[in-house]
Homo-oligomer: A and B are copies of this chain.
């Protein structure tokens, strides 16, 4: 990418404006719409998809992007563990929110797909803040329009169910079944990490394994250790284009209470960072962080964790873009 820092695309410095001040855009970056004269220079787009129409239990993820933006003003520029400064090598911008339809699921899915198709046509790598997990389906429809992609999913649930309540095919429990069926994800290059929680049955797991999805339960993650598991993950997805979807309920609910379907017994915040840092070298074409539901954590601790993880994802994305 660019040899020198593009000043226009740098976060507002806390030396000029304290962190609690200013209109909260993602990472204090410029907020651009397609009609902006410098839109064409954007390389990584930060987008919100404030929608929870696919939620069958506790709603609230529609409020996620707003609170993530708020807490993002406390993020600085450099990753001290990996030395990466995503803003130095890639032009990043806040591209606003996809306008979802709160009372129409299919319309909303279409709106998301259209938005990401435009990004793709502009060559912009998307870093998305959800919204519930169903939003990843329309993003994949846009991102994988040419060929199925690899998928790395951090989550406590497989989201591989077929339907709900006697036939509803589109909920936040079904996106990856749809994505495989529709040919946007290559199940041989699909790995799920952190699965746990009580189960209705094994329908989702059985179907996933049948397709070739690699499902790594939390016990396996803790037993083998993050470095070994993540080495396997990297091997599974190989060097072909791969998308990363990170459900905040992957993390233990004490660290991330602000989510609709928490499951105890998950990773802590350091481990939550580690799994992302181990994505270095993966051919990432985009990422999302979903299911932050502020009404269930008014204090904002989940949003602070979420945006900290989103910064880690930006770091590995920016490396993949070099």
Contact = CB atoms under 8 A, between A and B. Distances in A.
Given A50-B21, A103-B170, A299-B257, A196 B80 contact: yes
Nearest to A165: B101
Given A171-B103, A296-B295, A60 B57 contact: no
A308 interface: yes
Interface in A55-102: 55-60, 62-63, 65-66, 69-70, 74-81, 94, 96-102
Interface string A215-235: 001110010000000000000
Contact of A14 (B16, B20, B200): B200
Contact of A102 (B18, B22, B24): B18
A132 to B, nearest CB: 11
Given A48-B21, A199-B80, A74 B57 contact: yes
B270 A265 contact: yes
A265 B267 CA distance: 11
Question: What copy number does this chain have within its complex?
Answer: 6
Nearest to A79: B198
A13 to B, nearest CB: 8
Nearest to A262: B304
A269 interface: yes
A248 interface: no
A168 B15 CA distance: 11
A168 to B, nearest CB: 5
Nearest to A277: B219
Nearest to A273: B265
Interface of A: 13-25, 31, 48, 50, 52-60, 62-63, 65-66, 69-70, 74-81, 94, 96-105, 164-166, 168, 170-171, 195-202, 217-219, 222, 252-255, 257, 261-266, 268-270, 272-273, 295-299, 301, 304-305, 308-309, 311
Given A15-B164, A20-B62, 17 more contacts: A14-B200, A18-B100, A20-B63, A21-B62, A23-B31, A56-B102, A78-B201, A81-B217, A103-B105, A218-B270, A252-B255, A252-B269, A252-B270, A254-B268, A268-B268, A297-B299, A298-B298
30 contacts: A15-B166, A18-B50, A18-B56, A18-B62, A20-B58, A23-B31, A23-B96, A24-B69, A56-B102, A58-B295, A70-B70, A74-B261, A76-B198, A76-B200, A77-B198, A77-B199, A78-B199, A80-B197, A80-B199, A80-B217, A81-B217, A103-B168, A218-B270, A252-B255, A252-B268, A263-B308, A264-B273, A264-B305, A266-B269, A295-B295
